[in-house]
Structure 1
């Protein structure tokens, strides 16, 4: 499984309502065609940031302007590429602002960067192929 965390602007309840509307009659987790498994994680009752480096949390805080206490966690099946599905879901969640992080870089990605396929430190958002290429070279 690969993981993306989305930190949408706005309230948690708004995000939950959007997910309920998009993926009705499911929750905990919501699933998209057995390809994406989507849930809310938080610091209070979940594991958000429990395995993050403090420096990575600081980079995220700088990007969003505060310390987020919850996120949408999207797990992507390793059986599929998943890039199109992840980008589509992230676009919906970041429609009103926020950032997303992935397993491959510490950069908090904005929707504009994701949609324009911006390259930062040699990688695009959710660029598992590029990540493995870069690590093979080093």
Structure 2
């Protein structure tokens, strides 16, 4: 399972309502095509930053100007490529601002960077193919 954490601008309730509109009649988790699972994670549950490197959290805080208390976690099954689905969900969630972080880099990606295919440290957003190629080379 691969994961993307999305930190949308705005309120948690607005994000949940948007997910309810776009993925009706499901919640906890919301699902897309049966292979993408979406839920809201928060610090109250104690798991949001539980396995994050402190430096990654610091970069996120510096980018946003505060430490987020909640995020949308998107888990993508290894049975599918998932790139189109992740890009669809991230575009929905970041349309009013915010950032997303994938499993492959610690960079907080803006929607503009994601949609333009920006390359940072040799990787685009959710670039699992290049990430695995680079790891094989080293």
Same fold flag (TM > 0.5)? yes
2:94 is matched with which residue?
94
2:109 is matched with which residue?
109
TM-score normalised per structure 1:
0.98
Task: Write out aligned runs for 1:114-129 (5 A).
Answer: 114-129=114-129
1:27 is matched with which residue?
27
Report the Cα distance in structure 2 between the residues aligned to 1:90 and 1:32, rounded to whole angstroms: 13
1:67 is matched with which residue?
67
Q: Secondary structure at the residue paired with 1:10?
A: coil
Q: Deviations over 1:80-129 (max 9, x none)?
A: 00001100100000000000000000000000000000000000000000
Q: Secondary structure at the residue paired with 2:92?
A: helix
Unaligned runs of 5+ in 2: none
Unaligned runs of 5+ in 1: none
| Aligned-residue CA RMSD (Å) | 0.6
1:133 is matched with which residue?
133
Report the Cα distance in structure 2 between the residues aligned to 1:64 and 1:34, rounded to whole angstroms: 32
TM-score normalised per structure 2:
0.98
Deviation at 1:137, TM superposition (A): 1.1
2:81 is matched with which residue?
81
